[in-house]
A and B are shown apart, each in its own frame.
Chain A
Amino acid sequence: MKINMQSINSVFLIDDEPMFNLINQKILQITKFADNVFCYADASIALNDLKQMIDSTPINFPGIIFLDINMPGMDGWEFLEEFNKFDIEIKNKCKVYMLTSSINPVDLSKSNNNNVIYGFIPKPLSIEKLADLGTHSLKL
């Protein structure tokens, strides 16, 4: 099943810094990018919720995940490792974008080599960056 980005049901925001989540959530709401925005400060909780959604309410499974790289506990890379274990149909419903302020070349090359990752977005989200995803109609 192909996801129509214009009708994105839900988006996951995973960042250990609550302020980023709040800012990004606000931007997603203003741009009406998605119907539901779920924020997580802990990637392992986000992962658990995804697993539950698969079993209970697959309709809520996010179309896009914005994922921070540097986090205490489970970091972005470890989250991706677990995410990769999902069935291919489930993975196909969801695009993962890495949100980061890192300029470490190691991080960049890591994300280029990972086929689950759709893109690499410098923080914070903005209308322009969302527009670059080319997937939504902007209604301010």
Chain B
Amino acid sequence: MPLSKTEFKFLIIEDNLGDLLLIEEYLKKNISNPTIYHASTFAKAVEFLGENIELDLILLDLTLPDAQGEQLVTDILNFAGYTTTIVLTGYLDQDFAIKTLSLGISDYLLKDELNASSLYKSIVYSIERKRSEKILKESNQRYEILAQATSDTIWDWDIELDKMQYNDSVNRMFGYAESAVENTSKWWSLKIHPQDILKVNNELNYSFKQQRAHLQLEYRFLCADNSYKYISDRAFIVFDNAGKPKRIIGAMQDISKKMKAEEERVELLELLQNKNRDLQQFSYIVSHNLRSHIAKISGLAFLLKIEPDHKINNLSLTECVEQEITNLGNVVNDMNTIISFRDADQKQKDNISFNTELKLIEQVLENQISESNATITSNFQVKYIVNVKSYIYSIMFNLISNAIKYRQHNAPLAIHIETKQIEKSICLSVSDNGLGIDLEKDGEELFGLYKRFHSSDIEGRGMGLSLVKTQTEALGGNIEVESIVNKGTTFKICLPINENQYAIDK
């Protein structure tokens, strides 16, 4: 392998003049016009190296009058920087020879065995090796700096040895102590979410098979606190000549915030769409009811014009108009009520005893209860709830009062109220043996505002269940109904347990 450069600069550090001349001669044999500098002592060598002349090679004798051995090698290498350095010595010391190589010496040559061609060969190899070492070292340094600078977790997996290394980010990103991070691929794969591991493995295997170097993975990775982070992992696979994967380097980026924001966006959009649909329905219903009363008033006005003394249900037309105006006012008030119940977040939450609320309702509905001969039983497995008092009262009141209103007249009315905890909810159920509701027919409209499902002789405005649903949903809960016509109905309200609930239970 010929040297490509035309002008070469050598420094020979050698105290023996004979040896110096011999080396010079060897050099000149294979290299045209080399520039040769000479230092006979360590001190002179240091002085020369301080001048910063760019050298291609240093040839160093190991025994100088002012320095010898390992110390000499270390010191010279310090001053030489990246310059290729070859040791020339009269004595073979195998151990020491190996040691100098590890210190950064490129070759270790015995003077006795030296000739022009072996020196030349050593020089060519050494310079070339040093050059590629330098490139590798710089690239490694860049890699190290990048790994330190990035907040991504960099992993480097030697597949043959199954060794996996990480930068510090693995500790910062996932909260693992340094000692907790194991350097095998198993550790890594066990941390991947069980639902994602198959996908990750498949994609890895596919890339191995297709010999595709670039790979992007998305998976959830377990943190020290047992939570998962969403990770986008960009990896680069190194294959050997036979196409076998040898090494993978990957950068794990925490995209949890992005994923969470995306999830929140979707949720929010859904919420807004639902609210919008609700409002639209609400506006139809309200306008329908406003119109209905206005229609009646306008009909009554017509009658007043042509037959002012006419009576409807023993009421004068003027009285009818007054009644309708009151009804109209009520619709407007209902509108306010429904809207004000929609948002419960700001409302004060109290510790409410189900039993106390029930007693209160029984007092208020005393007449209806005695008239209907109702028996009310209760089983409050959960005795208290931390929530908005007026809502809980209204939900219980409306369900009980409905049970009384829509009872069967040929059998004594029995109402049963129950509470229990189901997972993270407190569930309140109110059951009766009343008229029941044809859910197949009316189920969809059951909770609609001003919707009524029983004959008009039973008084009611179609507000109760609509309010119950609005209030339940405003509290973050849901309502379910089971019913069989002429057998009875059960309403089940499940409300999420409030943070403060546990304190009271204890």
Q: Which residues of A contact B (CB under 8 A)?
A: 16-20, 22-24, 26-27, 30, 41-42, 70, 72-73, 101-104, 122-127, 140
Are the CB atoms of A22 and B302 closer together than 8 Å?
A: no
Known: A72-B452, A72-B455, A73-B454. A124 touches B298 (CB 8 A): yes
| Other-chain contact of A103, B288, B307, B312, B452 (Cβ < 8 Å) | B288
Contacts of B12 in A (CB 8 A): none
Known: A72-B456, A73-B454. A20 touches B307 (CB 8 A): no
Give Cα A42 to B454, complex, Å.
11
Please name the residue on chain B nearest to A125 by beta carbon. Answer: B299
| CB of A16, distance to nearest CB on chain B (Å) | 5
Contacts of B289 in A (CB 8 A): 101
The interface bits of chain B over 293-316 (1 if a CB of A lies within 8 angstroms of the residue's CB, else 0) are 011101110110011001011000
The interface bits of chain B over 454-489 (1 if a CB of A lies within 8 angstroms of the residue's CB, else 0) are 111000000000000000000000000000000000
Give Cα A23 to B302, complex, Å.
9
Are the CB atoms of A30 and B307 closer together than 8 Å?
A: yes
Residue B188 lies at the interface, judged by CB distance under 8 Å to chain A: no
Please name the residue on chain A nearest to B460 by beta carbon. Answer: A72
Contacts of B454 in A (CB 8 A): 72-73
Q: Which residues of B contact A (CB under 8 A)?
A: 284, 287-289, 291-292, 294-296, 298-300, 302-303, 306-307, 310, 312-313, 320, 324, 451-456
Give Cα A101 to B287, complex, Å.
8
Contacts of B324 in A (CB 8 A): 19
Give Cα A22 to B306, complex, Å.
15
6 nearest A-B pairs in the assembled complex, by CB-CB distance: A124-B299, A23-B299, A101-B291, A123-B295, A72-B452, A101-B292
Are the CB atoms of B288 and A70 closer together than 8 Å?
A: yes
Are the CB atoms of A20 and B456 closer together than 8 Å?
A: no
Please name the residue on chain B nearest to A103 by beta carbon. Answer: B287
| CB of A128, distance to nearest CB on chain B (Å) | 10
| Other-chain contact of A26, B284, B288, B303 (Cβ < 8 Å) | B303
Give Cα A41 to B288, complex, Å.
19
Give Cα A22 to B73, complex, Å.
119
Contacts of B456 in A (CB 8 A): 16-18, 41-42, 72
Could you show 29 A-B contacts with beta carbons less than 8 Å apart?
Answer: A16-B456, A17-B292, A17-B296, A18-B313, A19-B324, A20-B295, A20-B299, A23-B299, A23-B300, A23-B302, A23-B312, A26-B303, A26-B310, A27-B299, A30-B307, A42-B456, A72-B454, A73-B453, A73-B454, A73-B455, A101-B288, A101-B289, A101-B295, A102-B284, A103-B288, A122-B291, A123-B292, A124-B298, A140-B306
| CB of A99, distance to nearest CB on chain B (Å) | 9
Known: A101-B291, A103-B288, A104-B288. A20 touches B296 (CB 8 A): yes
Contacts of A123 in B (CB 8 A): 291-292, 295-296, 299
Please name the residue on chain A nearest to B312 by beta carbon. Answer: A22
| CB of B294, distance to nearest CB on chain A (Å) | 8
Are the CB atoms of B303 and A23 closer together than 8 Å?
A: yes
Are the CB atoms of B296 and A126 closer together than 8 Å?
A: no
Known: A72-B454, A72-B455. A104 touches B284 (CB 8 A): yes
Please name the residue on chain B nearest to A126 by beta carbon. Answer: B302
Please name the residue on chain A nearest to B311 by beta carbon. Answer: A22
Give Cα A26 to B312, complex, Å.
10
Contacts of A17 in B (CB 8 A): 292, 296, 456
Give Cα A19 to B310, complex, Å.
13
Contacts of A122 in B (CB 8 A): 291, 295
Are the CB atoms of A42 and B455 closer together than 8 Å?
A: yes
| CB of A17, distance to nearest CB on chain B (Å) | 8
Are the CB atoms of A124 and B455 closer together than 8 Å?
A: no
Contacts of A72 in B (CB 8 A): 451-456
Are the CB atoms of B291 and A103 closer together than 8 Å?
A: yes
Contacts of A70 in B (CB 8 A): 288
Known: A19-B320, A70-B288. A30 touches B306 (CB 8 A): yes
Give Cα A18 to B313, complex, Å.
9
Please name the residue on chain B nearest to A72 by beta carbon. Answer: B452
Are the CB atoms of A103 and B296 closer together than 8 Å?
A: no
Please name the residue on chain B nearest to A42 by beta carbon. Answer: B455
| CB of B436, distance to nearest CB on chain A (Å) | 14
Contacts of B294 in A (CB 8 A): 101
Give Cα A32 to B348, complex, Å.
61
Please name the residue on chain B nearest to A29 by beta carbon. Answer: B307
Contacts of A24 in B (CB 8 A): 299
Given A19-B296, A20-B299, A30-B307, 19 new contacts (CB under 8 A): A17-B292, A17-B456, A19-B312, A23-B312, A24-B299, A26-B310, A30-B306, A72-B451, A72-B453, A72-B454, A72-B455, A101-B292, A101-B294, A101-B295, A122-B295, A124-B296, A124-B298, A126-B302, A140-B306
Give Cα A15 to B303, complex, Å.
18
Give Cα A16 to B312, complex, Å.
16
Are the CB atoms of A27 and B302 closer together than 8 Å?
A: yes
Give Cα A73 to B300, complex, Å.
27
Give Cα A104 to B292, complex, Å.
13
Give Cα A46 to B365, complex, Å.
36
Give Cα A26 to B299, complex, Å.
9
Contacts of B452 in A (CB 8 A): 72
Most buried by B among A23, A27, A102, A103: A23
Give Cα A87 to B43, complex, Å.
126
Contacts of B302 in A (CB 8 A): 23, 27, 124, 126-127
